[in-house]
Amino acid sequence: MLEKIGIFVLFLAPLVFFHELGHFLFARLFGVRVEVFSLGFGPKILKFVKNHTQYAISLIPLGGYVKMFGDDPLAGSEISQDDRKHAFIYKSKWAKFWIVFGGPFANFIFAYFLFFSLLITGEKGPEAKFGSIKEDSYFSKLGVKTGDVLVGFNGQEIHGLTDLAMTNTTKTVETIKVLRKNIPIELKISKNPEEVIKEFLNLSPMLRRPLVVDREGNVWGISLSETNLDLNLSLEELNQEHLGQKIYLKKISYQPLTDEKANSAGELDHIKILSEPPIALEWNENKEEKSIFYFLNKNHYYPLDLVVKSLVLSSPADKIGIKRGDIIVGLNGRPVNSFEEIRDSLQKTPEGKEASVKVVRGNEVLSFKLLPEVSGSEENKVKTMGVFSSGDFVAMNFVVSKAHDPVSAMYFAGKRTMETIYKTLEGFKKLITNEVSIKSMGGPLAIGKVASDSFNISLSYFFKIMAFISINLGIINLFPIPVLDGGHIMFIILEIINRRPLSRRKLELAQQFGLSLLFILIFLALYNDISRLF
């Protein structure tokens, strides 16, 4: 938890610093006295004064502020004639505009700098790999297979997941290009591009290592080769490639992953292939009718992720007697081949009804009845039984793009910045017109999770996400809501139109409305954050 908090602060601090620095520098440029420059809100932890400005780090790291002399439009008459040359309220409308716009502008410049730095050094990010594709699904009908890597979209190269988010969605997708075992394959399609991306992101990205257990708890690696066990060829890929041929099981020494190492990138020191000769399983079934999972289960071998790693104390599973090491092989009268299937099947259990669970324990097959625990909001209910999986997943591969020369990096950084601004504006438009649910909004907890996840993937991915959030922060601050930068710019424009400042009463009403609207948006974002957690 402390590590995640540290990553969140590391992620947010530069965004806040550059935003406030933009206000600060433009204020100084136009001769406005800056009284306080603070990173964070609330009680000041560290502070010092230099050139009439107090610099501070405050307790709550969820923003910051620049306090300028004479920035209260309701207190202009209280400023003496001598001090008015240093007061924000007495500056020209042009100066006010740039001082207010300076914060969002700095966010855009910071994003450009991050993109430029990544381009000249080369980027490392996760490849856009297709997760588990079910039969009769949209991508299956197109000919896409589990494990294919998306490298092209309408003629545009894709170097990773973030590139996919920046693709042109204004025209119908005509082609996608995938890599299958390093062989490029182009597929022709005709579908709304946003639907294609949505279909892609809905695929489960977690592909399981080719590991199974027997009834005695021994762990085996499975392969289609008698001599070679590829631990990065997933169970899902083996299922689509076996073609009814022999399956070889190689016994391994397996050390279960700890929670700290469960998400580590590709470490295999917990797996050791033993020198014992492999076991060959002859395929005697009609491949057209049966999957590899059916064949393995029939021979009493089960995917590793079906093994119960641990239980939540006093959970439904704990209360009925399910134990650590049990292998869950059925739910609600249907066989299950993955922990994901267990989770999905459990959600379909009618609320208030018991679910039937079948487990293998040694040479016994036991049946239980349990009442799932329901959590979450009314619109987002989640049913759980309180078990954790022993799953071991194939680590994601990374795409390393070549470094650009400084001139081309300047061009592409600008292009990427403008594309991100456009995509962000397009996203907010869809939110306002209800094309996208307001439940998709996220607050500090969502940002913290994105920061932590991206940091654990790679530093270049972390900084790329930081650039995206910086642009989001700049655009949000330009919303024409009183108390935000965009609200102040709106007041300046209204002053120009009316040729005089707004009345005291109008300013007070506007600020009250702005604060109320801002609190509602913050509440919705936090509510969505908490709903996703619980």
**Number of structural domains in the chain:** 3
20 annotated active-site: yes
**Token output for 117:** 């730095």
Looking at 328, 356, 389, which one is the last position of a domain?
Answer: 389
Domain membership flag for residue 454: no
In a domain, 325, yes or no: yes
In a domain, 531, yes or no: no
Domain housing 43? 1-92
Question: What are the respective helix, strand and coil percentages of the chain, to the nearest 5?
Answer: 40, 25, 35
Is 186 in the same domain as 219?
Answer: no
pLDDT digits (tens, 9 = 90+) for 405-432: 999 999 999 998 998 898 888 888 877 8
- Residue where one domain finishes, among candidates 389, 416, 435: 389
Residue 246 in any domain: the answer is yes
Better pLDDT: 513 or 422: 422
- Identify the CATH number of the domain in which residue 183 sits: 2.30.42.10
Clarify whether residues 219 and 356 are in a common domain. yes
The verdict on 163 and 266 lying in the same domain is no
Query: Is residue 251 domain-shared with residue 368, that is, in the same domain?
Result: yes
- The residue ranking higher by pLDDT, 157 or 234, is 234
What stretches of 122-179 show up as alpha helix (H) in DSSP? Answer: 138-142, 161-165
What residues does 279 pair with on adjacent strands?
249
Residue 265 has pLDDT above 50, yes or no: no
272 and 357 assigned to the same domain? yes
Instruction: Specify if 155 maps to a domain.
Output: yes
Mean pLDDT is highest, among 153-157, 191-195, 305-309, for 305-309
Q: Please give the DSSP secondary-structure letter assigned to residue 451.
A: H
Is residue 49 located within the same domain as residue 70? Answer: yes
Tell me, yes or no, whether 196 and 48 share the same domain.
Answer: no
What value does the mean pLDDT of the chain take? 84
The stretches of 433-503 forming alpha helices (DSSP H) are: 444-457, 459-477, 485-498
Residue 431 structure tokens: 């939110």
Q: Are residues 350 and 250 in the same domain?
A: yes
User: Is there a single domain that holds both residue 343 and residue 263?
Assistant: yes
The residue among 485, 487, 467, 483 whose CA lies nearest residue 424 is 467
How high is the pLDDT of residue 258?
66
- In 3D space, the residue among 399, 380, 297, 280 whose CA is nearest the CA of residue 338 turns out to be 297
> Is the same domain home to 264 and 362?
yes
Q: What's the pLDDT tens digit per position in 71-129?
A: 776 665 577 777 788 888 888 889 999 999 999 999 999 999 999 999 998 888 788 88
> How crowded is residue 284: how many other Cβ atoms within 10 Å of its Cβ?
9
Q: Tell me the per-residue pLDDT of 333-346, one tens digit each, with 9 for 90 and over.
A: 899 999 988 998 99
d(Cα 270, Cα 206) in Å, to the nearest integer? 19
- Per the domain annotation, does 432 fall within a domain? no
Q: Residue 143 has what pLDDT?
A: 86
Let me know: does 358 contact 365? Beta carbons within 8 Å.
Answer: yes
Same domain, 220 and 369: yes
Least confident piece of the model among 208-212, 344-348, 456-460: 456-460
**Higher pLDDT, residue 315 or 521:** 315
- Annotated catalytic residue within 20, 123, 236, 237: 20
Question: Is residue 38 within 8 Å of 56, Cβ to Cβ?
Answer: yes
**Would you say 466 and 15 are in contact if contact means Cβ atoms under 8 Å apart?**
yes
In a domain, 12, yes or no: yes
Residue 522 domain-assigned (yes or no):
no
Boundary of a domain, candidates 92, 123, 155: 92
Find the mean pLDDT for residues 214-236: 90
Q: Are residues 230 and 272 both part of a single domain? A: yes
Reported as a pLDDT band with limits 50, 70 and 90, residue 316 is very high
Residue 129 CB contacts under 8 Å (≥ 6 apart), including other chains:
147, 148, 149, 150, 205, 396, 397
Global pTM exceeds 0.85? no
The 10s digit of each residue's pLDDT in 138-190 is: 888 888 888 888 888 877 788 777 777 777 666 677 888 898 888 999 888 87
